[in-house]
Structure 1
């Protein structure tokens, strides 16, 4: 089915249901067998999405890794979360076409997009136009350094709302609030709540979500999808806890 990812994301936002994306950094996959077992376990727990990518990738083996995932579960949506134009694979299902609207680096606002656009036009990937907003997570992160941008203050929801509104007026259809990999603190619930009340679009939130309570707070504030990367690397059972929580939460919505 075409636009399957779009339909799922927009249904989540409309119905108030929640979802989890497991963010995988290809460079951090050490052993194929154990990785496949992890994917199999998450698939059995009905993981919603896999995001794949990173700020800096040294090994260009996206094709191989995505093929491995698809061998376990061909229906599990694999979405590229690219740090640059070299992070591309036709074997993925979709791509977050990220415009770093919180920064002023023209290369990440539009520059790299022009480079990759002809390739995307020939591919079968779902292209998801996404406003990417970097929020201060209390520590300098890889995306800070690579993007050469200053993150939005985590205590200034009015700035975040203005940025999101500008992105919405430009036609962006999804919004990703990110405190960055290894953030000490996640995006504040106040910022999430303020943006959710200001724009009608699926809201993805990641960075610093290393406990179930932080995930719950993020969902309660209005996130439609939470993204867990570092937290899963340190403790894969966190994904299990979150998926079990989502199952109960979404089930209660169905009953009501």
Structure 2
């Protein structure tokens, strides 16, 4: 995809095109953004991208679970220091990696997670008339139907100075079969859903993940004051 130049928000150059970014590349970029935020040279921001197919194992993943995943999947398996267990990332998901100073906002982790998920939920309500609920017992954004299913997963790590790392994953239209061989976030595969499943692919339209990413960037800027980063192409000396 070709990155488009956008506006300057909180000292961060934003774009409007969802980039497919390797997990390692995204981790390097977010680490650089975290360092910049800790140094006070930029404001709060969120890296928005999608990944090629990959499984990630959070800090709560047991050795047995990791070994089982490695023996059954045909995509890379990467251990990361976010919270949570095993999950899948790939095309058709919008990855949202906030780099936010909780200390400056005087927010605890649960308060921030609730605010971020609520912003996504408000967007889905306004855009698609889709009712969702933020759950704290099983952290994430879930459909509000009788049989609740998870739309947005969360896995964070709080760095020095109270700056957030890792983030959130919105299922727009991922390949459903990728969840079948794992217990995503410790859940049954059937408890995971996507916008395409809930609304139907015709309602979210073609190139839906890209459109939703662009719209969410505006929502997060307006509701939470978080500027969006879609790539490292236009960040200048911020992370150099």
Q: Provide TM-score, normalisation by structure 2.
A: 0.30
Structure with greater contact order relative to length (CA < 8 Å, sep ≥ 6): 2
Normalising by structure 1, what TM-score? 0.29
Structure with the bigger percentage of helix: 1
Q: Which has the higher strand share?
A: 2
